[in-house]
Structure 1
Amino acid sequence: MIRALIFLNSITHTSIPFELSVRIAEITEGEIVIASFYDDDFDDQSPVEDIADLPVDVRTFGATSRFDQKAWSAFHNELNQGYDLIHTHHNFSGSVARLLATKEDHPIVNTEHRNHRSNSPLQNIVNAPTLPLADRIVSNSQITQDSFRWYERLLLKDSQLDVIHNGVDIERIDNVITETPNLNEESSLRICTVGRMVPVKNQSTLLRAFDSVVEEHQQAELLFVGDGPLRSELETLAVDLGINDNVQFTGEVPRHRVYEIFAQSDVFAMPSIAEGFCVAVVEAMAAGLPVVVSDIPIFHEVVDDVGIFAQANDPSQFTTAISKLLSKPVERDRLGKLGSRRVREQFSLEETAKQYIEVYEQCVADL
């Protein structure tokens, strides 16, 4: 049985690495321990419901900065607690963790979650020297792996590289969808999007597209789920366009609330300029929503032919695609069912966890 230490920056209810770690723990005979760099003791303030009942042990180091020597000393001490393997996830902290784990002769698995072309040069430079220290480098999509910079590829062997797509908890989504009542507003139509409000998500294009959608569908509603540094700018743009009465900004909400919003929406839209994978799109598809996404490589890998594509920098294309779906409920239903089927066949959290367990076993066997 493998005893693995999975190193995260922090634990939140939207953390894909945390959710994956829990599922690995649920289906493996080994022991999974999660080390959280920035979190302190949770007591009764856990960011995740019922964390004490989960099948993982959690270590918290309470770092106050990425250079917190006390926290790094605690992590180094944790490495000596008889682990068979270390799994890192994040850029800077993952780089330091790989350096420390190498000194203790632990096999290392690292996951790359971001498209490296959307990283800053500094982020790539920090990450690159320690990538070769990992026995296996797992990318969450082929696009993420293909985005490695030339100097990163020079340092790596093909045998180190794997692609394991992110997975979503289909059963949890289904349970929420089933229990969520329908909106009693037959005349209204709802478009939703989920994501951090940062430049790469390109939400301003969606607002400009929606401005034209409202001309045809006056009762249409657009929900932005999430928060971030661009929120006030987007709220101002909605006012300037005169559509603020039709636009809602929910801020950060619990995961189950996201699924409730999916259940009460008609279309999901994502105008991102770049993505490593985009779990939100896959969760929306699992919930049976038809999706309109930007015409970028990752969405062709993930969504394939069960969604509608629009140029990220062209609001009019998003307007056309969204308006088409709002006007044609039969087409909405058809694409929603196709998307849901694709997720169940390709992107279940269970299958993702099984693939990681196989990687763990291979790395330990090869030591």
Structure 2
Amino acid sequence: MRVHPSAHPHPPPGRRRVLLLTDSYRPTVNGVVSSVDELRQGLLEAGHEVRVLTVGPTRRTTFDGQVYRLPSLDASHVYPHARLGRPVDGPLLADLVRWRPEVLHSHTEFVAFWWARRLAHRVAVPHVHTYHTLYADYTHYFCPHERLGRSLCAAFARHTLDRTDLVIAPTEKIRRLLQGYAVRPPVEVVPTGVDLARFAPGAGSPELRSALGLEPGVPVVLSLGRLAAEKNLAEVVDLLARVPDPWQLVVAGDGPEAGALHRQVGRLGLGDRVRFVGAVEPSRVPELYRLADVFVSASRTETQGLTVLEALATGVPVVCRDDAAVDGVVVAGRNGERYTTPEEFTRAMTRLLRDPDLRRRWGREAVRTATGLGRDGFVAAVCSAYDRAAGRDSTTVAA
């Protein structure tokens, strides 16, 4: 990468330069990418200077004025969609040192984390890290022995996180996990927010409904996310098959379990009731939520439940597995239901499918719930965490 020496004037008082570092970024679609993007957009809107350091698919380091992309190797055999970037090269490091970020905020624990460590030594600024992923629930990708895998995850978390100044946990569930791992830095809970203007209630697109072949008058159940074993969509299909009322399921996403799910749907004779739409461009995701009458999730590995929050913001009631990740978000009997048994799922889904007035009431409550979980509050809380990592009072720097 050719880096031209340039002056980097200091940002206005109350604003800061933030470098976000991640092994996963656009065009990849996952929860980490969504969280990084929400934070980046919110920081920019609040007047901060933000750059992203991530991996790229080419053999060259590139920089478009906002995002640095380093050459990388495919590592999806270790973790889905993972790529391993090379070390930061001399010209790039020199440009970053000239820019002088005031906060380094890493979001993954692999190469990007060590980029942050190298930079922290060079520019002597706080290193904040968000712990997004429950690796203990993904041990089947890299270790055949579950108990050993979980022990390795705890040791790995300590080895990495103990080098940072402050750790952000998206939920209390993650904070408790890290407390159990005995990590040393302070851990603060900061739920990821969503863009409430983008995920707002509205009428579903008749064109999209027609394109998906959805039947008029039949409630639409939506599942959105990666089709992987840990997302547990097979359970949703099995449980919906037992629900006697009319429904049609839209499955948005792709992944290693896609073939098995197609076969399961065929085996259960549900081919005319399930629509697989594959991976969806982020710009089209709000349209899918607006088509839905109910959002469903059976995931056991959520750390922040972003899709659940997006559904609520769009006014869609949620039926999900009972999980600490959605504590205070999905409130049973108000904006959705949480289940642990097949009977609880059937009861909740049947009730919603049969009662459009109930769906509307819970949808209104869903929007009210999401109001307190928007991007502005998320960014303000992250900025307060930056201040504490730097040893400053949180009132000294504007969010």
TM-score above 0.5: yes
Q: Does 1:356 align with 2:389?
A: no
Deviations 1:167-206 (A, max 9, x none): 111101228x357449585432210111111122110111
**TM-aligned CA distance change 1:234 to 1:149, over 3 Å:** farther
Structural mapping, 1:307-326, within 5 Å: 307-311=336-340, 314-326=341-353
| DSSP 3-state at the match of 1:197 | coil
Deviation at residue 337 of structure 1 after TM alignment: 0.9
C-alpha contact (below 8 Å) 1:208/1:315 kept by paired residues: no
Equivalent residues in 2 for 1:161-200 (5 A)?
A: 161-174=187-200, 177=202, 180-181=205-206, 185-200=215-230
CA distance in 1, matches of 2:164, 2:238: 44
Contact 2:106 2:130 in 1 (8 A): yes
> Aligned letter for 1:18?
D
Identify the residue that residue 80 of structure 1 maps to in structure 2: 97
Equivalent-residue separation in structure 1 for 2:348 and 2:258 (angstroms) = 25
What corresponds to 1:275 in structure 2? 302
C-alpha deviations, 1:56-85, integer Å up to 9, x for none? 722111222555545566764454232222
CA deviations on 1:102-138 (whole Å, 9 max, x unpaired) are 4323310101112354253344433321212211100
Task: Give SS of 1:106's match.
Answer: coil
Paired AA for residue 238 in structure 1: V
Q: Of 13, 16, 21, which residue of structure 1 is paired with 2:40?
A: 21
Quick check: 1:108–1:136 contact (8 Å CA) kept in 2?
Answer: yes
| Aligned partner of residue 172 in structure 1, secondary structure | coil
For residue 137 of structure 2, the aligned residue among 113, 118, 121 is: 118
Match of 1:141 among 156, 166, 171: 171
Superimposed CA distance per residue, residues 267-325 of structure 1 (whole angstroms, 9 cap, x where no aligned partner): 111111231011001101111111101012222342133321111xx444322211110
Secondary structure in structure 1 of the residue aligned to 2:193: coil
Q: For 1:129, what is the secondary structure of its paired residue?
A: helix
TM-score, with length taken from structure 1: 0.85
CA drift of 1:354 comes to 1.6
2:144: which partner in 1? none
Q: Which amino acid aligns with 1:274?
A: T
Alpha-carbon separation, structure 2, partners of 1:263 and 1:224: 14
| TM-score, length basis structure 2 | 0.78
Find the residue that maps to 1:332 and give its secondary structure.
helix
Is 2:159 aligned against 1:129? Answer: yes
Match of 2:184 in 1: 156
Moved more, 190-199 or 62-71: 62-71
- Report the CA distance shift for 1:266/1:344 in structure 2 as closer, same or farther (over 3 A): same
Give 1:99's aligned residue.
117
Q: Which has the higher helix share?
A: 1
> Structure 2 CA distance, aligned partners of 1:247 and 1:116?
31
Please give the alpha-carbon distance, in whole angstroms, between the structure 1 residues aligned to 2:236 and 2:204.
Answer: 29
Classify the secondary structure of the residue corresponding to 1:96: helix
| Deviation digits for residues 12-56 of structure 1 (CA, Å, limit 9, x no counterpart) | 26422123112212213x3111112235599xxx9xxxx97xxx7
Q: Which residue of 289, 293, 298 maps to 2:320?
A: 293
User: Does the C-alpha gap of structure 1 residues 264 and 41 become closer, same or farther in structure 2, counting only changes over 3 Å?
Assistant: farther
Structure 2: distance between partners of 1:235 and 1:227: 11
Cα distance, 1:4 vs. partner? 1.6
Alpha-carbon distance in 1 for matches of 2:178, 2:331: 22
| Structure 2 residue identity aligned to 1:245 | D
Q: Does 1:260 align with 2:287?
A: yes
> Could you list the runs of 5+ residues in structure 1 that have no partner in the other structure?
none
Q: Could you say if the C-alpha distance between residues 135 and 290 of structure 1 is closer, same or farther in structure 2, counting changes exceeding 3 Å?
A: same
Unmatched runs of 5 consecutive residues or more in structure 2: 1-14, 75-82, 140-148, 394-399
Task: Indicate the percent of aligned positions where both proteins have the same amino acid.
Answer: 23
Q: Counterparts in 2 of 1:242-253, with a 5 A limit?
A: 242-253=269-280
C-alpha distance in structure 1 between counterparts of 2:366 and 2:22, whole Å: 31
Letter in 2 for 1:168: V
Match for residue 3 of structure 1?
Answer: 17
Matched residues, number: 346
2:265 maps to 238
Q: Which moved more, 1:118-127 or 1:195-204?
A: 118-127
